[in-house]
């Protein structure tokens, strides 16, 4: 299936939830999938909007499913947000953070620390300890001129009990209170993919963005100028494709079928 694309695909940027796993269950034989990627000589980075976990935690989850991938080949919206800030402020500095360990660690490793005044930016993502006090502090800082950066716009995420509020819900509350629209780093905006391309050292046309959501993974890859592949192992279905104006380059049941 990959061989049908020209110029030849040299690298993959894989979404994780819905592509590699669904909740705590792997999608297919992940050990065989990664062995196939290696056999094809493809570079790979896993890129996810999920800002709550660290690359080490994602790598550990993969290892528990039989696949080995070093943390440096895992990129999430937290790391991309830190990359974005570091480009603007190479020396680092104080930020106000709304988020969990994944975002905290990414910012700390790039030289940024938590503060509540004179901050370089308000950086917000998924935060299961979100509170009125955090909302009030973020609002005050943004209204006083601090840039507002959001990791990703996902309003919900699936749980065994149904859809739960996601990062986009926190961003929406801060936007409503501050009157400022955030700069979004994650999919469907292209910055996360642009960081992945920088790490891979490949061009957009020789890199395939693989995901299970048309409105985030596929749209984000297309905005970054990449080729795209939809796998039907997660959220979007063939029925959804009928109403999608710009179809992906490839459609497969799952990652195993895509890799042939």
Together in a domain, 89 and 114 = yes
- Percent helix, strand, coil in the chain, to 5, is 40, 20, 40
Q: Which domain holds residue 163?
A: 78-184
Residue 163 confidence (pLDDT) above 80: no
The answer to the question of residue 72 being in a domain is no
HSE-CB of 169 using CA atoms within 13 angstroms: 13
Strand partners, 150: 124, 184
What pLDDT is attached to residue 158?
66
The H-or-E segment that residue 227 falls in is strand 227-231
What is the rounded average pLDDT of the residues 209-217?
Answer: 94
Return the minimum-mean-pLDDT range out of 86-100, 162-176, 194-208. Answer: 162-176
The answer to whether residues 221 and 228 touch, using CB atoms and an 8 Å cutoff, is yes
pLDDT of 166 higher than 80: yes
Same-domain status, 116 and 192: no
Q: Domain total for the chain? A: 2
Residue 160 has pLDDT above 80, yes or no: no
Whether residue 169 is found in the same domain as residue 193? no
The question of whether 29 is a catalytic residue gets the answer no
Residue 39 lies in a domain: yes
122 and 155, same domain (yes or no) = yes
What pLDDT sits at residue 230? 97
Distance of CA 131 to the CA centre of its chain: 24
The angle subtended at Cα 139 by Cα 136 and Cα 144, nearest 5°, is: 125
**In angstroms, rounded to a whole number, what is the distance separating the alpha carbons of residues 192 and 26?**
24
Say which of 17, 212, 217, 249 is annotated catalytic.
17
- 112-158 confidence digits (pLDDT tens): 999 999 999 999 999 999 999 999 999 999 999 999 999 999 888 76
Confidence band (pLDDT; 50, 70, 90) for 29?
A: very high
Q: Domain containing 113 — which CATH number? A: 3.40.50.1000
pLDDT digits (tens, 9 = 90+) for 214-247: 999 999 999 999 999 999 998 888 999 998 999 9
pLDDT tens digits for 180-207? 999 999 999 999 999 999 999 999 999 9
Peptide bond into 188 cis (omega under 30): yes
Q: Which structure tokens are listed for 253?
A: 């049941």
Within 13 Å, how many C-alpha atoms sit on residue 98's CB side? Answer: 34
| Domain boundary residue, one of 155, 184, 213 | 184
SS3 10: coil
pLDDT, average across residues 98-109: 97
Domain boundary among 132, 150, 184: 184
What is the reported pTM? Answer: 0.93
The answer to whether 203 touches 20, Cβ cutoff 8 Å, is no
167 and 232 assigned to the same domain: no
Marked catalytic residue, from 15, 154, 212, 217: 15
Q: Known catalytic residue: 17?
A: yes
């Amino acid at each position: 299936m990959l061989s049908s694309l020209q110029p030849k695909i040299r690298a993959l940027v894989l979404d994780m939830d819905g592509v590699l796993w669904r909740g705590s269950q792997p999608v297919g034989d992940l050990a065989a999938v990664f062995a196939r990627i290696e056999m094809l000589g493809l570079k790979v980075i896993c890129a996810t909007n999920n800002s709550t976990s660290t690359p080490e935690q994602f790598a550990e989850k993969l290892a528990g499913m039989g696949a080995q991938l070093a943390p440096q080949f895992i990129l999430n919206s937290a790391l991309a947000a830190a990359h974005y800030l570091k480009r603007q402020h190479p020396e680092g500095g104080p930020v106000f953070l709304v988020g969990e360990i994944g975002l905290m660690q990414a910012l700390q490793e790039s030289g940024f620390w938590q503060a509540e005044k004179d901050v370089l930016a308000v950086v917000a993502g998924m935060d299961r300890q979100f509170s009125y006090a955090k909302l009030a502090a973020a609002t005050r800082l943004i209204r006083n001129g601090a840039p507002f950066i959001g990791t990703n716009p996902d309003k919900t995420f699936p749980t065994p009990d149904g859809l739960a509020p996601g990062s986009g819900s926190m961003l929406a509350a801060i936007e409503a209170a501050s009157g400022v629209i955030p700069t979004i780093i994650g999919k469907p905006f292209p910055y996360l993919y642009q960081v992945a391309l920088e790490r891979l050292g490949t061009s957009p046309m020789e890199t395939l963005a693989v995901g299970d959501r048309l409105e985030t993974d596929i749209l984000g890859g297309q905005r970054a100028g990449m080729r795209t592949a939809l796998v039907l192992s997660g959220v979007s279905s063939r029925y959804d494709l009928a109403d999608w104006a710009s179809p992906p380059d490839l459609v497969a049941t799952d990652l195993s079928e895509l890799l042939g």
